[in-house]
């Protein structure tokens, strides 16, 4: 989960309309895929504008919107210059926090087990593909 203030900072929102404490559990750009707790990105396109689908996204449970212009739909709206760029940033940086809501405390943990972390989460965080080592293979 991600709180609204962390989203505002991560996405570089120019303004926040209707600021309220919310927890984001998922990201969506298609109103038909919105589940309760989603952050919905209103992305304008050549054929349709995501802003037109924002009311449906809110009805389906979107707790906040990323918009290029305020809509006044009763949920927090993060106003950005480009919803498409904000969506890319969120997919890259925020999906990690949504997938791993409890970050380990490295100061007190003597051993941290990452065996439960799917490689796709880690893969997105590095520039080159990960090499999976067998347990008996030396590291380094």
Task: Report pLDDT digits (tens) over 90-100.
Answer: 877 665 665 54
HSE of 35 in the Cβ direction (CA atoms, 13 Å)?
4
Query: Shortest CA distance to 3 belongs to which of 19, 74, 36?
Result: 19
**50 and 41 in contact (C-beta within 8 Å)?**
yes
Mean per-residue pLDDT for 82-91? 87
Q: What is the dihedral of CA 19, 53, 56, 71, to 10 degrees?
A: 30
- List the single range of 18-22, 58-62, 104-108 with lowest mean pLDDT: 104-108
CATH class of 2-99: alpha beta
Phi-psi region of 7 (alpha: psi -120 to 50; beta: other; left: phi over 0): alpha
Measured CA to CA, the distance from residue 134 to residue 112 in angstroms comes to 18
pLDDT at 106: 43
62 or 10, which is more confident?
Answer: 62
- List the single range of 1-5, 55-59, 75-79, 130-134 with lowest mean pLDDT: 130-134
Q: Is the pLDDT of residue 132 over 90?
A: no
Measured CA to CA, the distance from residue 31 to residue 15 in angstroms comes to 23
């Amino acid at each position: 989960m991600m709180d609204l203030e962390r989203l505002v900072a991560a996405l570089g929102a120019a303004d926040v309309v209707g600021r309220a404490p919310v927890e984001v559990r998922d990201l969506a750009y298609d109103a038909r895929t919105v589940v309760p707790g989603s952050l919905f990105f209103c992305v304008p396109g050549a054929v349709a504008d995501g802003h037109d689908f924002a009311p449906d996204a809110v009805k389906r449970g979107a707790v906040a919107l990323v918009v290029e212009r305020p809509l006044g739909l009763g949920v927090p709206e993060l106003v950005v210059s480009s919803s498409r760029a904000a969506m890319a940033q969120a997919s890259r940086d925020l999906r990690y926090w949504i997938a791993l809501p409890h970050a380990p405390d490295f100061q007190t943990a003597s051993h941290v087990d990452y065996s439960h972390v799917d490689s796709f989460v880690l893969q997105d965080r590095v520039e080159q593909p990960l090499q999976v080592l067998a347990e008996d293979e030396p590291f380094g």
